[in-house]
Amino acid sequence: MTGDMVSRPGPIPQPPEAVQIARKVAAGRYRLLTVFPGLDRTPPFERYPCPPAARQRLAEKTWVRVLPRKGEWMYVAPHGVPANADSRWRPVTSRGDCIVVGRYHLRQSPALVLYLDVLHELCHVVQRWDGRSLWDEAYAYVDRPTEVEAYRFVVEEARRLRASDAFLREYLKVDWVGPKDHRRLLTNVGVSPR
């Protein structure tokens, strides 16, 4: 899950041309490539650590659930409500592979932010296939191995697209992480804190 790009440092690169974003879909449930057509034809999609048949499954069998609620960003729907869920986060659950995104985020956020967010969440889908816990409370969010790995994955792609560290610092600010933890997240994923 990532936060809002309130202050936008410098020009923001665009996602690869192959990717389109269906920003105006109504609230509901859609196939991944209905909301993010072309995503499966990008370089990072080929880098997911799974066999080609599994990447095909990722493209064809992952759902996107668009919620009408404001304040929702993007996350992988848990199979059950995680123990750390609270009144601020009422997650949608799903038995299958489903990425949840708020309609406001989908319509208003910069294309690169949405592109990086969906790549990040697809990392989590692959991690869950490997039996890894996405909400392991033994770790703080900024130190959780699954989060660090997924953020490193998108940082690498953002840099390939020539995004600045200033953009990445802003991108990696999330609502549920304070300034000290934000600096630790930056260090954990290889972005200069300044």
Closest CA to 163 of 151, 150, 154: 154
pLDDT of residue 85: 72
Beta partners for 34?
A: none
- Return d(Cα 18, Cα 2) in angstroms, integer: 23
- Return d(Cα 65, Cα 100) in angstroms, integer: 5
What residue spans of the chain are helical by DSSP H? 32-35, 43-46, 52-61, 103-108, 111-129, 145-160, 165-171, 179-189
Tens-digit pLDDT profile for residues 21-75: 999 999 999 999 999 999 999 999 999 999 999 999 999 999 999 999 877 789 9
What are the backbone angles phi and psi of residue 67, rounded to the nearest 5°? -105, 145
- Return d(Cα 193, Cα 129) in angstroms, integer: 32
Residue 4, CA distances (Å) to 47, 109, 152 in order: 26, 7, 19
**Residue at token pair 């009144």:** 87
Tens-digit pLDDT profile for residues 120-164: 999 999 999 999 999 898 999 999 999 999 999 999 999 999 999
DSSP character for 49? S
Q: Describe the strand order of the beta sheet including 74-76 as a list of residue ranges.
A: 28-31, 63-67, 98-102, 74-76
- Mind giving me the DSSP string for 83-112? TT--TT------SS-EEEEEHHHHHHS-HH
Contact 27, 176 (CB under 8 A): no
pTM for this model (two decimals): 0.92
Question: Is residue 150 classed as helix, strand or coil in its secondary structure?
Answer: helix
Tens-digit pLDDT profile for residues 61-118: 999 999 998 777 899 999 888 777 776 677 888 999 999 999 999 999 999 999 999 9
Contact 93, 81 (CB under 8 A): yes
- Within 8 A by CB and 6+ apart from 48, the residues are 54, 55, 58, 122, 123, 126
